[in-house]
Structure 1
Amino acid sequence: MYLFLNVVAVLTVLGGTCEQIGRRRAVPVIYLRGSHYEVGYDVGRTFSSLIKDFIDTYANLRDFEKEYKTDAGRNAYEITLANMKKKYPFYINEMQGVADGAKVPFNVLFLLQMDDIIETINENHIPRQDTGGCSSIGIHTAHDAILGHTEDAFHETLNHFYIMSAHIIPTEEDKKLGAVEERFASLCYAGHMPGYTMGFNANGLVFSINTLSPLILKPGSTPRTFITRALLTAKNFDDAEKILLDEGLGVANGFSVNMIWSDINNVRKIYNVEVAPDLTSNRSLINVKHFENEPLIHTNKYLRLQLKEVNGPIIDSSNARLEAIYKHRSPKNRDDIQNILSDTSRQDFHVFQDQKESVIKTIAAGVFDLEKKTWSIYINKPNSSEPIAVLPLRFTNLEN
């Protein structure tokens, strides 16, 4: 059973830009069961106004649409779509369900998944000035296993998200194509697939994602959002690693994933995996780090994989946030993590990004507490506010 604290569930009010309505203390949650298409359709139908408003106001989408109209952009779109129809046809069905339910064009939703792959299709030779901002901190001690995360996104995403708690029961046709039964919960940006934010699955996984920006991308390969969508099916860490490697195509753009895995004996392990396009083979470049006696700390720059990244705010912000994080004492418990995630000590970039003029905003913060088996969602700083929603971590596939 889900516990909600001070929920303001006003879906019809969440439309409109964040400048018009400010930061809403609301976490819409939808509970779903059905096939990929059915679940997608119900998400689209329920959050139609939210999805349409996001599509109308998201400035980056205008850039994606402009590139889509070029020969190179349309070619990259068609090749990527064809490859995803072969590799993950059931996720395409899920997206089609969202499009049909929300009554929005499918190609617009697919452009959202392509993101910087299509945005840079005609300018990979120009030094990019990417922007980003998620921060993740995890610890595993004798007394605690905690993963904390600030979900940072372009300011239009503020108030334009929801949580899916889904039980996917694939159709017989989808099963033949590789689909499996799934139980998961994930925060989702409006119109996006679940998985590219933070959440958990029934197999003992809790996770958060950090966007990373390699300079050279691989149009036609697997968009990161499809890989993180597939990660929701992972049964254990080895399975997750196989999904991240993505043999046959490899990831087209970059990210890192922070994971705490619990097994049937309640043994927990914490990992960070950096993922990047491999320009010389049809698989992803990955670097795995298992954390035992030190905290996991990751922002939006590669810390271990050696490759050329973009310049600009995403790197400047990452360096500033890392510097701010390491000025705190090494986190030992949940309070320490919540204090760090709430840091606004610097003038240039904050860990909890709430500057009025900032392009990037912290739209929510999440704290996964494995001892309490809860996922707490905060809209304001987690060290000085109550969570708006507290969801139970239900690892049903580990239960006897």
Structure 2
Amino acid sequence: MFRLLFVVVVFALSGTCEIVGRRRAVPVIHLRGSHYEVGYDVGRTFSSLIKEFIATYANLRDFEKEYKTEPGKEAYEKTLANMKERYPYYVKEMQGVADGAKVPFYQLFLLQLDDIIGTINDNHIPRNDTGGCSSLGIQTPNEAVLAHTEDAFSETLNHFYIMSAHIIPTQEDRDHGAVEERFASLCYAGHMPGYTMGYNENGLVFSINTLSPMILKPGNTPRTFITRALLSAKNLEDATKILTDEGLGAGNGCSVNMIWTDENGERSLYNVEMAPDLTSNKSLLNIKKFENDVLIHTNKYLRLQLKEVDGPIIDSSNARLEAIFKHPTPKTRDDLQDILSDTTRQDFQVFQEKDDSIIKTIAAGVFDLKEKTWNIYINKPNASEPVAILPIRFTNIGK
């Protein structure tokens, strides 16, 4: 029997597009069911939020313009066909969101394509991408913490929710490779879970940083599908296989920050840089394990050698890295929260809260593996209380 438990934390929906400023609210929904059922109830529950975001998100208008061109339509159809072949159950999940929210499926799929469709007619032309997520991690005998600012276009402010799901695939979906999943992930309205921050019950906590290779691969797997699949990973080897995506490979780029906890309670800290491989049908990966140093990542490649975009995403990354390295080497959770809260620069801030900023920090997350909690802040984490504290459950370890 399908059961739905819905929890909302200090949250209100409005049918208007009224500008209400930064709200200290974290909507959380708990779900159980098949991919389609879970998607449907997310869409049904957050219909107003999803519709408002779709109506106001300026980038989607650009995606739709590209979609109407011949190369854009071709890239859309090729990518959709490949995802129906590789991840048909995630396509069903997205269809469930569209049906539940009563919005067109194609708009939600365009959101997953992101810069793949947004640059389809100028893929080889220098572009000014924008980004702002910062991730820091420490792994010591006394501390295991992953801290992250979730930064996005200003329209995303107040347009997100946390999805805590137990996916029980249908037999048809199992026949296509789906597995049972238990996870929690922050989601932008109308987007699939995975491409932000969260954890699964196999021992993984993670955060994502957008990266912008100059050359993308339309038709290949969007990073949002790869990070959605990452929520099912059982261990680092499984995660590496998902990120490699043998046979297609990533169509665009990102950085994945992970702390894995094994059956013995031992923890390991990793960063993975992922990019399209222009010479083969798989993702280009660089995996680094952090044992005695601090994990620090923003929105630029630090190890993979490839051509990136120019412009604000790199300028912002360099500025934030400079601000981060002015702090003493972090050794505790409080140290990480101080760094995440840095607003010392006038151009680009680690915690981006300026009213005129195109990119804003919509939330900050701190995963404390010692306490087994996911603390979510709307304001600076060193000067405010978390709006929500979610338990981290690794119930699948040892099974």
TM over 0.5: yes
Equivalent position amino acid for 2:296 in 1: I
Aligned residues: 394
**Can you list the C-alpha shifts for 1:364-384, whole angstroms capped at 9, x where unaligned?**
000000000000000000000
Distance in 2 of aligned mates of 1:13 and 1:350: 30
Distance in 1 of aligned mates of 2:319 and 2:374: 27
Which position in structure 2 is the counterpart of 1:203?
202
Taking the TM superposition and a 5 Å limit, the aligned residue runs for 1:53-64 are: 53-64=52-63
- Cα deviation, residue 7, structure 1: 4.1
Change (3 A) 1:40 1:247: same
Which position in structure 2 is the counterpart of 1:9?
11
Distance in 1 of aligned mates of 2:15 and 2:137: 31
Distance in 2 of aligned mates of 1:29 and 1:257: 23
Which position in structure 2 is the counterpart of 1:105?
104
Which position in structure 1 is the counterpart of 2:76?
77
Taking the TM superposition and a 5 Å limit, the aligned residue runs for 1:123-202 are: 123-202=122-201
- Cα deviation, residue 14, structure 1: 8.5
**Can you list the C-alpha shifts for 1:314-369, whole angstroms capped at 9, x where unaligned?**
00000000000000001100000000000000010000000110000000000000
Distance in 2 of aligned mates of 1:152 and 1:339: 17
Describe the SS at the equivalent of 1:38.
helix
Distance in 2 of aligned mates of 1:120 and 1:198: 25
Q: CA RMSD in A?
A: 1.3
- Mapped pair 1:293 → 2:292: yes
- Cα deviation, residue 218, structure 1: 0.1
Distance in 2 of aligned mates of 1:308 and 1:273: 17
Equivalent position amino acid for 1:16 in 2: C
- Cα deviation, residue 124, structure 1: 1.3
- Cα deviation, residue 274, structure 1: 0.0
Which position in structure 2 is the counterpart of 1:348?
347
**Can you list the C-alpha shifts for 1:60-108, whole angstroms capped at 9, x where unaligned?**
0000000000000000000000000000000000000000000000000
Residues 258 and 271 in structure 2, CA contact (< 8 A), matched pair in contact too: yes
- How does the TM-score come out when normalised to structure 1? 0.97
Distance in 1 of aligned mates of 2:310 and 2:61: 22
- Mapped pair 1:319 → 2:318: yes
Distance in 2 of aligned mates of 1:64 and 1:158: 20
Equivalent position amino acid for 1:351 in 2: V
Describe the SS at the equivalent of 2:138.
strand
Which position in structure 1 is the counterpart of 2:234?
235
Residues 14 and 48 in structure 2, CA contact (< 8 A), matched pair in contact too: no
Which position in structure 2 is the counterpart of 1:95?
94
**Can you list the C-alpha shifts for 1:174-227, whole angstroms capped at 9, x where unaligned?**
000000000000000000000000000000000000000000000000000000
Taking the TM superposition and a 5 Å limit, the aligned residue runs for 1:379-394 are: 379-394=378-393
Describe the SS at the equivalent of 1:21.
coil
Distance in 2 of aligned mates of 1:15 and 1:46: 17
Which position in structure 2 is the counterpart of 1:212?
211
Residues 275 and 283 in structure 2, CA contact (< 8 A), matched pair in contact too: yes
Describe the SS at the equivalent of 2:26.
coil
Unaligned runs of 5+ in 1: none
Which position in structure 2 is the counterpart of 1:362?
361
Distance in 1 of aligned mates of 2:232 and 2:267: 18
Which position in structure 1 is the counterpart of 2:222?
223
- How does the TM-score come out when normalised to structure 2? 0.97
- Cα deviation, residue 228, structure 1: 0.1
Distance in 2 of aligned mates of 1:388 and 1:79: 41
Which position in structure 2 is the counterpart of 1:282?
281
Distance in 2 of aligned mates of 1:357 and 1:254: 27
